[in-house]
Amino acid sequence: MNQPVAVFTDTDDLDPAPGVRLLEEAGFEVRVAGTRDPDAIAGIAADAVALIVGYARIDAALLDRLPGLRILATMSAGYDMVDTTEARRRGLWVANLPDAATEDVAVHALASTLSLVRRLPQADAVVRSGGWNADFAGQRHLPRRASELTLGLVGLGRIARSFAALAAPVFGRVAAYDPHAAPAHWPAGIARYDDLGALAAASDVVSLHVPLTRATRGLVDGELLGRLRPGGFLVNVARGELVDPEALLTALETGRLAGAALDVFPVEPPQADDPLRTHPRIQLSPHSAFLSDTSRRAYVCGPAENVLAWHRTGRPLTPVVDPTVAPAPVVDPTATAPVVVPTAPAAPEGAAA
């Protein structure tokens, strides 16, 4: 009897070996493509039943070349690299990792926020350049007192709720906007806003925690940034394409924003001359909010466990596309009240995770 074949596409800085062992011990033949190139993936995965996906774009053209595929398992909570509409149309399961790095991303968001508020990169730069306190205190923006600030969360899923719990003792107020969250399940201590613009207007720091869909692409534009309190901050540990980069740069130059912290970018990695990469008041990290010694293993073992559960029971542990049921409507997160939008999440134009 032929072994079922599972293929890891791109693993980047992750070591797939623990996940490979889990699958091989269960009787799978496992291959590691080590690339996002669709031609290479199509060649190595032509007979695969399972594809474990990092950042590689999985679209209709690639799926056409994988006739035996039955399940796609992402190595992330996000799954915007997969054309879910095409996956569902072809009867494929799609599974993600909703909780593999919740704590890590929440802590990274908090660390990034506090670094912005306390202007730690600028303080570091002053000392390294030979300056001292007077040079730092003479800059346009001073550190802010966190207890006097409002932290606004766009989206209130697992990561945002964890971030809110960490931030609540530090910030004066935590507020959030999420049309998906039912009032009955809204966490105590977090002010609820039913309008995204109103949340921005009430916030000193806005942190993004929503998936990338057609409705959320470019969600943070010039209009929304213009609603922020002057001298505010933006934190993005979600998806780069949520933010209009030109609008962000304009807000920084006009002083509407005092700073931003980006772990994600519209194109990854950004080009050397990308102004997002070179702006002195943008704090950068290399899409590493998820990364820790613990999560590194979870990100390869979790997808393998999804594949194994599907193989044994016919259903992965954490499906986001179940081909056996009709799709739920998508809610436009920009609407004042929930508005049903008859679209499905779109695959990204650039790499993201």
Report the chain's mean pLDDT, rounded to a whole number: 92
Residue 135 Cα to chain centre, angstroms: 36
Q: Give CA–CA dist 213/240, Å, rounded.
A: 12
- How sure is the predictor about 348, in pLDDT bands with cuts at 50, 70 and 90? very low
- Res. 336: pLDDT tops 70: no
Tokens found for residue 111? 């660390």
- Res. 212: pLDDT tops 60: yes
- Res. 166: pLDDT tops 80: yes
Task: Provide the pLDDT for residue 328.
Answer: 61
Tokens found for residue 98? 């909703």
Task: Dump pLDDT digits (tens) for 214-257.
Answer: 999 999 999 999 999 999 999 999 999 999 999 999 999 999 99
SS (H, E, C) 25-83: HCCCEEEECCCCCHHHHHHHCCCCCEEEECCCCECHHHHCCCCCCCEEEECCCCCCCEC
- Res. 332: pLDDT tops 60: no
Catalytic residue set: 239, 268, 287
Task: Dump pLDDT digits (tens) for 52-97.
Answer: 999 999 999 999 999 999 999 999 988 999 999 999 999 999 999 9
Task: Provide the pLDDT for residue 187.
Answer: 95
Summarize the confidence of residues 193-211 as an average pLDDT.
97
User: In percent, how much of the chain has pLDDT > 90?
Assistant: 87
Q: Give CA–CA dist 251/259, Å, rounded.
A: 9
Q: Give CA–CA dist 109/252, Å, rounded.
A: 20
Tokens found for residue 252? 């920084």
Q: Please identify which residue in the block is written with the tokens 């996000």.
A: 78
pTM above 0.75, yes or no: yes
